[in-house]
Amino acid sequence: MRVKLLAGNWKMNKTNAELPAFFAGLSTELRIELAAVQDKVEVLFAASYTLLQKALELAGPHKIRIAAQNCHWLESGAYTGEISLGMLQDIGVRAVLIGHSERRQYYGETDQSVAAKTKAALSKGITPITCVGETLEERKANKTEAVVQRQLLAVLNAVEQPGDLIIAYEPVWAIGTGHSASSAEAQDVHAFIRQVVHQKMGKNAAAAMRILYGGSANPANIAELLTQPDIDGGLVGGASLKPDDFAKMIRAALEVAH
Ligand code: PGA
């Protein structure tokens, strides 16, 4: 059984001063202790570097995981402005987003750097949430599977064992646009991703791997997305910024997981 994972991606939002009210609000809106339902739904937030320490402190008691939004693949050296996995580990971070399309698009992230970062994270025991997904142009040209396969194989070829690697399928055209993929469109690509993992890493790895959907997931569409057999959770941007919206999504995930 794959435990559902709802992961909020805060992107470049929030300050430390806002965090106590956020976590208090989430806990009030939820009306259940996440610690008691961990076998059904896990919750995570990917936060900016400056928020990580405070977020870890506040989220820890609720069994909410905290992830960074990027990392370097090397341990240390002359890389001004970069943060290594060892540095994340140093403050207790145990998960990291890798290869988000915004990083691929605006910061020159490549299949190679995404693969190197994913491999390094796994070797450190830090859970990589590695993102793949096609642009609108690529979808229109019927290249969705080819693009997703290329991005995925770059990663799978680099790692020996998938460990607790999590894949996030995020069609670029659905991110921040209010136009989510339909549950059927998302399921098709998720099934394809699982098939590629099966071919490359075997049946057990494919059955165990969690594949999250991201791109305008919100309280209104999350339940239907999560009822699809190969959708194991969500990577949620905009709707993760407000505790009431995100609490609704967690509750929906819990109902689906029952
Ligand atoms: P969105 O972002 O939910 O705001 O579309 C998702 C993401 O970029 O991870």
50 CA from centroid of ligand 1 (Å):
20
| Shortest-distance atom of ligand 1 to CA 240 | 3
Q: Does the beta carbon of 9 lie inside 6 Å of ligand 1?
A: yes
Going by C-beta distance under 8 Å and a sequence separation of 6 or more, which residues neighbour residue 126? 71, 85, 88, 89, 93, 94, 95, 96
CA of 91 from ligand 1 middle (Å) equals: 26
> pLDDT tens-digit profile of 114-132?
999 999 999 999 999 999 9
CA-wise closest residue to 71 among 87, 58, 63, 83: 83
Which residue puts its alpha carbon closest to atom 2 of ligand 1? 237
What's the pTM value of the predicted model, to 2 decimals? 0.98
Characterize 27-46 residue by residue with b for buried, 16 or more Cβ atoms within 10 angstroms of its Cβ, and e for exposed.
bebbeeebeebeebbbbbbb
Q: Per-residue pLDDT averaged across 168-189, rounded?
A: 97
Task: Catalogue the active-site residues.
Answer: 100, 170
Tokens coding 127 = 């859970």
What pLDDT shows up at residue 160? 87
Question: Predicted confidence band at 3 (pLDDT cuts at 50, 70, 90)?
Answer: very high
Is ligand 1 within 6 A of the CB of residue 176?
A: yes
The SS3 of residue 160 is coil
| 237 ligand 1 Cβ < 6 A | yes
CB of 198 within 8 A of CB of 149?
A: no
CA of 229 relative to ligand 1 center, distance in Å: 21
Distance 21 CA to ligand 1 centre (A): 22
Q: With bands split at pLDDT 50, 70 and 90, how would you rate the model's confidence at 208?
A: very high
If you average pLDDT over every residue of the chain, what do you get? 97
CA separation, residue 94 to residues 14, 28, 121, 124, 137 (Å): 20, 26, 9, 9, 35
Q: Which amino acid type is present at position 93?
A: V
Residue range 77-91: average pLDDT? 98
In this predicted structure, the answer to whether residue 258 has a pLDDT above a threshold of 90 is: no
Q: Does ligand 1 have an atom closer than 6 angstroms to the CB of 105? A: no
pLDDT of 21 over the 80 cut: yes
Q: Cβ atoms within 10 A of the Cβ of 62, count?
A: 15
pLDDT in tens, 244-257: 999 999 999 999 98
Contact present, 151 and 111 (Cβ < 8 Å): yes
User: What is the reported pLDDT for 1?
Assistant: 82
Taking residue 49's Cβ as centre, other Cβ atoms within 10 Å add up to 15
Mean pLDDT value across residues 10-30 = 97
The number of the ligand 1 atom at minimal distance from the alpha carbon of 217 is: 3
Whether the CB of 235 sits within 6 Å of ligand 1: yes
> CA-to-CA distance for 179 and 182, rounded, in angstroms?
9
Mean pLDDT of 50-66: 97
Would the CB of 238 count as within 6 Å of ligand 1? yes
